[in-house]
Amino acid sequence: MFEQVASLKNMMSRIKAERSENDSLSEQELMELQSQRRDPKEKKLEQVRSEYMDFRSHPLAQKIDAFRTLSKTFGIENPFFRVHENVHGTRTTIAGRDCINFSGYNYLGFNDHPVLRRSVADAVLKYGTSVGASRLVAGERPFHRQLENKLSALYEKEDAIAFVSGHATNVSVISVLFGAGDLIVYDGLSHNSIIEGVKLSGARFYPYPHNDPEALEKILENHRTEYQRTLIVTEGLFSMDGDVPDLDRLIEIKNKYGCILMIDEAHALGVLGSHGRGLHEYFAEKSMVCRRNQSDCGEFNIAEKVSRYSGEVDLWMGTLSKTLAGCGGYIAADRQIIDILKFNAPGFVYSVGLSAPMAVAASAALDLMLEDNAPVMRLQHNAGFFVSKLKSFGLNTGKSIGYAVIPVIVGSSHRAVNMSNALYERGINVQPIIHPAVEEQQARLRFFITSEHTESELSETADLLAEAARKEGLIK
């Protein structure tokens, strides 16, 4: 208090002295002088205000502006955020134009399945469209546990937990289970939600080169002992490249170095394995084929093998937004892990519970998938058919193993946008994937195949794509 009074007195006498000194100055000169003599903190605040009170100068805004200017200059139509006028299926209508659609993850065609429509309509009539608040606050509805029980059974785990967003699942789960003193090693091409979770966790982290178990092992050999818990995390079917990790090697490495293994099955559920269970079913069946080829079928039980693979993965993560035609994400794991998440994962505790339409849609879709594997078989046939067509034209499908996610790598982002627009003009809706989502020379068109595409739609698309690629000088 005394200090404040003293400094006020000082200021007053300084101003008095300055006034007599400045009597001969003009009004403008006086104002300039005053602004020069202002407290430097106050002056800085003025600069801060003018520069940072909006987002015009934000680097991301400038990037978008540059993209728009470039598109305008070269007359390139923006292929993003087009409005589709009907249900998301194998065909779509954009601005009145009927297109064959490859832009979504409706892998088994459940999005407009009559069973889902009916179950969801009934559920909305009974429960409404929202559960009102977080489940911790507002309590649960029967459909929450029904869905989670089905998910835990799918992976033969003790329990499961469903979140309202797949992205938030990865961010919340990774960041809450791991922290300072822990280590996370993740595939370098992992989905953004994994990487955000890793960064937020506060754990030490290393990406390993895509699908390179030797590089992963080297990191663990050098660093494992310096840390407490260590997570290895990767995708079951890579969303950009359509390839799979070597689950056998991941399990071997996880066990050798005492790690926790997490697999993101967002694109693997409904796609891999003869019943669409995912990576564990795919590997169980693959190992069976190997043994058959070696005429060593012996005492072989495929279900047992699926269980064994399932048990070796500590956290099965997946989304409700793709094969399951809803919206949300899940983890299937030991009860202890699920308990921790239920009371601590921010995306669960502080976010509204899954709504009836989304939970019931996912639940009904899961039943459909497991009851009859005909759609899974059709999807696998369609994807194989499409990829072999593309290869016969000499198109570059990268590392894709030909299951649902099929990229066609075209080089620059500019070319990818051009080709996407050219195909759109011919009635094919396929999105370009451009830098920074992928490296600049790895820009691509990414095709999501579904069980409901017809061979004639796939053939027509391959022909038109080859034509566009020839125009770009990609193939002869």
Residues near ligand PLP (CB under 6 A) are: 165-167, 170, 191, 193, 235, 239, 264, 266-267, 319, 321, 329
Judged by CB, which is closer to ligand PLP: 232, or 469? Answer: 232
Judged by CB, which is closer to ligand PLP: 331, or 474? Answer: 331
| Edge-to-edge strand list for the sheet holding 428-429 | 91-94, 97-101, 428-429
The answer to whether residues 463 and 423 touch, using CB atoms and an 8 Å cutoff, is: no
Amino acid letter, residue 452:
E
The residues, any chain, with a CB within 8 Å of residue 85's CB and separated by 6 or more, are 92, 93, 94, 96
Judged by CB, which is closer to ligand PLP: 273, or 329? Answer: 329
The answer to whether residues 168 and 154 touch, using CB atoms and an 8 Å cutoff, is: no
The least distance separating ligand PLP from the CB of residue 326, rounded to whole angstroms, comes to 9
Q: Which residue is nearest to ligand PLP (CB)?
A: 166
The least distance separating ligand PLP from the CB of residue 123, rounded to whole angstroms, comes to 20
Residue 436, preceding peptide bond in cis (omega within 30° of 0): yes
Q: Report DSSP state, residue 155.
A: T
Judged by CB, which is closer to ligand PLP: 328, or 462? Answer: 328
The least distance separating ligand PLP from the CB of residue 449, rounded to whole angstroms, comes to 16
Q: With H, G, I as helix, E, B as strand and everything else as coil, classify residue 204.
A: strand
| Edge-to-edge strand list for the sheet holding 183-187 | 159-163, 329-333, 315-319, 260-264, 230-235, 183-187, 204-208
Q: DSSP labels for 337-350?
A: HHHHHHHH-HHHHT
Judged by CB, which is closer to ligand PLP: 319, or 418? Answer: 319
The least distance separating ligand PLP from the CB of residue 296, rounded to whole angstroms, comes to 35
The least distance separating ligand PLP from the CB of residue 170, rounded to whole angstroms, comes to 6
End-to-end CA distance of the chain: 85
Judged by CB, which is closer to ligand PLP: 395, or 430? Answer: 430
Judged by CB, which is closer to ligand PLP: 321, or 413? Answer: 321
The least distance separating ligand PLP from the CB of residue 234, rounded to whole angstroms, comes to 10
Length of the chain: 476
Judged by CB, which is closer to ligand PLP: 190, or 382? Answer: 190
Q: DSSP labels for 11-36?
A: HHHHHHHHHHHHTTS-HHHHHHHHHH
The least distance separating ligand PLP from the CB of residue 330, rounded to whole angstroms, comes to 10
The least distance separating ligand PLP from the CB of residue 66, rounded to whole angstroms, comes to 26
Q: Parallel, antiparallel, or unpaired: how do β-strands 431-433 and 443-448 relate?
A: antiparallel
Where helices occur in 294-373 by DSSP H, the ranges are 302-312, 335-344, 346-349, 356-371
